[in-house]
Homo-oligomer: A and B are copies of this chain.
Amino acid sequence: MTMPKGTLFIVSGPSGSGKDTVLGRLLAAHPEIQLSISSITRPMRQGEVEGEKYHFITREAFEQMLRENALLESNVYLGNYYGTPRAPVEAAIAAGRDMILEIDVNGAAKVRAQMPEAVSIFIMPPSLEVLEQRLSGRGTEDAETVRGRLKEAVGEIARAADYDYIVVNDDLDEAVESLTAVIVGQRAKIARQKYLIDEVLQDVKSRNW
């Protein structure tokens, strides 16, 4: 029996989109979905656990992965490397499991180029007003900082048209339902289910009608 492959879902969303809350709810309800874990070279911070959100590896190990093309994408930030290991993603997909890769718009573009079959989802606020309210609602930053965050978020929204799906996070329950539907619906795609047709037709052949 041929196993259907899993799907890599690229999920992005600007600050103020509520992406982490939506993703958290999805993953709690769907433990069968794996989350991609980045490999990074910055030092571990207090409270962080190896393998939970990140794999903490040495600069040498990271550079070797770069040489071996073992990363789907990588980035340098404040002198440290950040990247997405290719092997766990390929293993999950081959085993028929779905994987979510949470990444910014630049990283998403790099991964899409490497894996065009990945399905990308952009989580966005319902409007500029709501985004502004959410970003200033934290109340801890001055107007200038909020304005800077808002501009950054808008810059990401401007690239949302490159994604396959847009999940609007106005009402949280609806956003979770929408994201869940995109992921569960993808499992019914003909590319993932065609093996079933082949099985029935093979079975017909083996009988001598």
Contacts and interface: CB of A to CB of B under 8 A. Distances in A.
B184 A126 contact: no
A167 B193 CA distance: 8
Contact of A188 (B127, B178, B187, B209): B178
Nearest to A194: B161
Given A188-B181, A197-B157, A197-B158, A203 B127 contact: yes
Question: How many copies of this chain does the complex contain?
Answer: 2
Given A128-B204, A184-B177, A201-B154, A193 B166 contact: yes
A188 B13 CA distance: 14
A73 B168 CA distance: 36
Nearest to A182: B185
A151 interface: yes
Looking at chain A, what size class is its interface with the partner chain? Answer: 35 or more
Contacts of A189: 164-165
Given A128-B200, A196-B168, A185 B186 contact: yes
A39 B158 CA distance: 45
Contact of A196 (B166, B196, B197): B166
* A contacts with B: majority SS: helix
A168 B4 CA distance: 13
A147 interface: yes
A180 interface: yes
A85 B209 CA distance: 39
B168 A178 contact: no
B165 A190 contact: yes
14 contacts: A124-B196, A128-B204, A157-B200, A157-B201, A160-B190, A161-B190, A161-B194, A163-B190, A164-B189, A178-B185, A178-B187, A181-B187, A182-B185, A185-B185
